[in-house]
Structure 1
Amino acid sequence: MARRCAVTGKGVQTGNLVSHSNIKTRRRYLPNLQTVSLLSDTLGQMVRLRVSTHALRSIEHRGGIDAYLTSARNEELSLEARRLKRRISKANKATQAAA
């Protein structure tokens, strides 16, 4: 499983660990990823995603996973998030056509 956020695409960064004697060794900065189940109002079901805590705060700020994905550009979303966005937009169009 990749250490990459499913929504924002935030991944592992690298840098140097610098000791007191100024010796530099490579290290990895891992993102704070959490596996969460988010309720999609449009789909009417829970969606399980592995997202960073920063993305989780952004999703809650925008009013849920549906609102976050519909307002986000496709270029800034991962493949998994784009597929979910497509499912949500199809469900929205189906409910509007039925009404």
Structure 2
Amino acid sequence: MSRVCELTGKGVMSGNNVSHAMNKTRRRFLPNLNKVSLLSDALGRPVSFRISSHALRSVEHNGGLDNFLLKARDGDLSLKARRLKAQIKKKLASDAA
């Protein structure tokens, strides 16, 4: 399982450890990923994701998982999230009709 957030696409970054003597060695900065279940209001069921803490705050700021997915670009989302987004759009369209 790769270390990439399923909602924002945030992944591993690289950089340097810098010692007091200014020696530089390569290192990896890992995203703070958590396994969470978020409730989809349109579908009425919880959905499990592996997302970063930043993404969790963004979901709550946007008013829930459904609103976040509808506003998100498809390029940032994982395949699972894109499929869920399509299900939510379909459900909202059928409810409106």
Q: TM-score range by the shorter chain?
A: over 0.9
Distance 2:44 2:63 in 1: 16
* Structure 1 position 83, deviation (Å): 1.3
Match of 1:85 in 2: 85
Deviates more, 1:43-52 or 1:78-87: 78-87
More helix, by proportion: 1
Q: Which runs of 5+ in 2 are unaligned?
A: none
Match of 1:74 in 2: 74
Distance 2:14 2:73 in 1: 27
Correspondences of 1:1-99 after superposition (within 5 Å): 1-97=1-97
* Structure 1 position 94, deviation (Å): 2.1
* Structure 1 position 30, deviation (Å): 0.4
How many pairs were matched up?
A: 97
> Deviations 1:35-63 (Å, cap 9, x if unpaired)?
11000010010000011011100100010
Task: Give the ranges of 4+ consecutive aligned residues of structure 1 lying more than 3 Å apart after TM superposition.
Answer: none
Distance 1:96 1:70 in 2: 16
RMSD: 1.1
Instruction: Look up the SS of the partner of 1:74 in the other structure.
Output: coil
Identity %: 59
Distance 2:26 2:95 in 1: 52
> Deviations 1:55-77 (Å, cap 9, x if unpaired)?
10010001000011112222332
Instruction: Look up the SS of the partner of 1:22 in the other structure.
Output: coil
Distance 1:27 1:73 in 2: 30
